Amino acid sequence: MLQVNDVFLQFGGRKLFEDVNLKFTDGNCYGIIGANGAGKSTFLRILSGDLEPTRGTVSVGKNQRISVLHQNQNDFDDCTVMRTVLMGHKRLVEIMDEKDALYCKEDFSDEDGMRASELENEFAELGGWEAESEAASLLNELKFGEEYHERLMSELDGKQKVKILLAQALFGNPDILILDEPTNNLDAKSVIWLEKFLMEFKNTLIIVSHNRHFLNKVCTHICDVDYGQINMYVGNYDFWYETNQLLAKQAREANKKAEARAKELQEFIARFSANASKSKQATSRKKELEKLTLDDIKPSMRKYPYINFDFEQEPGKEILTVEGLTKKGYFEDLSFTVQKGQKIAFLSDKSIAISMLFDILMGLEEPDGGKFQWGKTMTFSYVPQNFDAFFDGVNLSLVDWLNQYSKDHTESYLRSWLGRMLFSGEEAKKKASVLSGGEKVRCMMARAMLQSGNFLILDEPTNHLDLESITALNKGMTQFKGSMLFASHDQELMQTVADRIIEIDGASGKKVFDKITTYEEYLEMMD
């Protein structure tokens, strides 16, 4: 159990949190959500004891151990893989090192013997004799066989280090497990494995993640970091989101009778509860949802961008044909045809290959061989993965920046589009050159909507976005009636948008998979 009492945190003149009171209990998983910069990771540092609050306390159950996912991949470069995992249990490693030092002494005394005996007892109590076996099991689950165990961490690449640090955090069945973006840089199979592992985790679990599919799978509660407050809600991310959307709708329809609003909410809760899956986590969540009263549900102050891709010109039957397209070092002999209304997700362990393909199709790069042909009725909206050139050194206000891509040049019209992307009032006068990554993406979405293309190409559009913006983008992509090519690491977006998957092998550049299927079905086929 971990309890937060009257926590207040101030940086300089900014109040980040105020009067936070929360209790995290065994058997539950708490997803921490909030806009970019709201202080989610900072809050985790307070919970782990790495950062002292300005006021208030964080208390941990007696003798309970906290484990945290380390963010610096290079912290353990001098250690072997096995030792790095074992260091997830700090006290256990301390005992092992002290024992080894004692047994190596040439002048081993009676006092040393007594101390060694004490250490052996504590070692056994902490499960020390099974430690290496447990660590090896975790490593094997993450596809690190015995040949890796004694290798130095410095010999591994970044993605491998991420998995080892994850194994370190999970090692030793900690009482309280704190994970900050644990799915970052994990492949889809590793994410699925982690989901299953955490759904079986019986202690206290606290997670910050932008992966909605992951939050929906593992979370029993959502903690919303919202304008200096942190409010806790029963249910997963989808339940929190849909409930808040319903409350916002009811607020807009203020003339509706209170009784009718209450009935609508009660029916929604009952429906969501009944649809819970049969996993242990979901069953527990279902019971808690059934106990909810209307007084327990309070609307979030969070604002969502409005993303809706519409087009003016209806596309004809001919959309896109690609024949033998080749770009040396990226892909080779690539052929496919896009049908009307298809939404094709591209996958590759070499993401620059997909970016190059999209740039070629948009006429920004030239292929080395092959050809492609667009239908005569096609118009385009393109959001590249790298959009720095649109903003770096651009000394224009956002109104003037967006004006470059608009047919209507009136300020009120441009401000309305910026308002949809949460740039209201004076925000619309910000310089394009000083925007954050998330703000730049929202501007690129406004640009794409103004282009009104009947064909969308989106290259990792969720990068830099917070959960609210990702959810809005997901909805916009799902509702789009035209054809689409896209690449994304967001599992929920892939599952709900794509109706066809094309995979390009990163090493050979060859197309290795092309099938009309959902992302989930693709993963099952690859298993």
User: pLDDT tens, 468-512?
Assistant: 899 999 999 999 999 999 999 999 999 999 999 999 999 999 999
pLDDT score recorded for residue 234: 87
Residue whose C-alpha is closest to residue 57's, from 65, 67, 49: 49
pLDDT score recorded for residue 36: 77
For residues 99 and 80, what is the distance between their CA atoms, to the nearest angstrom? 19
Say which range, 56-70, 197-211, 301-315, 409-423, has the weakest mean pLDDT: 301-315
For the stretch 201-248, pLDDT in tens is 999 999 999 899 999 999 999 999 987 889 898 888 988 888 888 777
Single residue among 159, 174, 189 that ends a domain in this structure: 174
Return the structure tokens found at 341.
Answer: 């209304």
* pLDDT range class, residue 297, cuts 50, 70, 90: low
State whether residue 281 is helix, strand or coil.
Answer: helix
Residue 35 domain flag: yes
Bridge partners for 381 per DSSP? 456
Q: What is the number of domains present in the chain?
A: 3
CATH number at residue 388: 3.40.50.300
Model pTM above 0.85: no
Residue 309 domain flag: no
Residue 395 domain flag: yes
Burial classification of residue 505, based on how many CB atoms lie within 10 Å of its CB (0-12 exposed, 13-18 middle, 19 or more buried)? middle
Based on the fold, state whether residues 327 and 287 are members of the same structural domain: no
Residue 4 domain flag: yes
pLDDT score recorded for residue 56: 95
For residues 458 and 383, what is the distance between their CA atoms, to the nearest angstrom? 5
| Beta strands at 2-11 and 14-24: parallel, antiparallel or unpaired | antiparallel
pLDDT score recorded for residue 286: 58
Based on the fold, state whether residues 366 and 498 are members of the same structural domain: yes
Return the structure tokens found at 269.
Answer: 């809760």
pLDDT score recorded for residue 336: 98
The helix, strand and coil proportions of the chain, stated in percent and rounded to the nearest 5, come to: 45, 20, 35
Based on the fold, state whether residues 94 and 50 are members of the same structural domain: no
pLDDT score recorded for residue 296: 61
Say which range, 49-58, 180-189, 195-204, has the weakest mean pLDDT: 180-189
Residue 118 domain flag: yes
Based on the fold, state whether residues 161 and 60 are members of the same structural domain: no
Residue 314 has pLDDT above 80, yes or no: yes
Based on the fold, state whether residues 218 and 365 are members of the same structural domain: no
For the stretch 368-400, pLDDT in tens is 999 999 999 999 999 999 999 999 999 999 999
Based on the fold, state whether residues 338 and 484 are members of the same structural domain: yes
pLDDT score recorded for residue 278: 45
Cβ atoms within 10 Å of 405's Cβ, excluding its own: 17
Q: What is the largest CA-CA distance in the chain?
A: 91
For residues 338 and 329, what is the distance between their CA atoms, to the nearest angstrom? 24
pLDDT score recorded for residue 274: 61
Bridge partners for 334 per DSSP? 325
For residues 401 and 281, what is the distance between their CA atoms, to the nearest angstrom? 47
* pLDDT average, residue stretch 430-446: 93
Based on the fold, state whether residues 112 and 209 are members of the same structural domain: no
For the stretch 321-341, pLDDT in tens is 999 999 999 999 999 999 999
Based on the fold, state whether residues 444 and 358 are members of the same structural domain: yes
Q: Which domain holds residue 75?
A: 66-174
Based on the fold, state whether residues 30 and 122 are members of the same structural domain: no
pLDDT score recorded for residue 357: 98
Say which range, 45-54, 95-104, 184-193, 303-312, has the weakest mean pLDDT: 184-193
Residue 144 has pLDDT above 60, yes or no: yes
Based on the fold, state whether residues 182 and 169 are members of the same structural domain: no
Residue 121 has pLDDT above 90, yes or no: yes
For the stretch 77-93, pLDDT in tens is 999 999 999 999 999 99
| Residue 273 dihedral angles phi and psi, to the nearest 5° | -65, -40
For the stretch 151-182, pLDDT in tens is 999 999 988 999 999 999 999 999 999 999 99
For residues 145 and 304, what is the distance between their CA atoms, to the nearest angstrom? 45
For residues 367 and 458, what is the distance between their CA atoms, to the nearest angstrom? 20
Contact 322, 336 (CB under 8 A): yes
pLDDT score recorded for residue 299: 67
For residues 465 and 458, what is the distance between their CA atoms, to the nearest angstrom? 14
Based on the fold, state whether residues 241 and 147 are members of the same structural domain: no
* pLDDT range class, residue 294, cuts 50, 70, 90: low
Based on the fold, state whether residues 347 and 478 are members of the same structural domain: yes
Residue 315 domain flag: no
Residue with tokens 């096995």: 82
Residue 359 has pLDDT above 90, yes or no: yes
Single residue among 154, 174, 194 that ends a domain in this structure: 174
Burial classification of residue 109, based on how many CB atoms lie within 10 Å of its CB (0-12 exposed, 13-18 middle, 19 or more buried)? exposed
Residue 109 domain flag: yes
Mean pLDDT (the chain, rounded):
90
For residues 451 and 311, what is the distance between their CA atoms, to the nearest angstrom? 8
* pLDDT average, residue stretch 46-56: 94
Return the structure tokens found at 141.
Answer: 């689950």
Return the structure tokens found at 434.
Answer: 């000083």
* pLDDT average, residue stretch 54-78: 93
* pLDDT range class, residue 8, cuts 50, 70, 90: very high
Residue 202 domain flag: yes
pLDDT score recorded for residue 257: 60
* pLDDT range class, residue 262, cuts 50, 70, 90: low
Ordered alpha helix ranges (H), 150-279: 158-170, 188-199, 212-218, 237-252, 258-274
Please state, in angstroms and as integers, the Cα–Cα distance from residue 269 to each residue in 215, 239, 416, following that order: 19, 8, 35
pLDDT score recorded for residue 1: 87
Single residue among 121, 147, 174 that ends a domain in this structure: 174
Residue 116 has pLDDT above 80, yes or no: yes
Residue 520 has pLDDT above 60, yes or no: yes
Burial classification of residue 97, based on how many CB atoms lie within 10 Å of its CB (0-12 exposed, 13-18 middle, 19 or more buried)? exposed
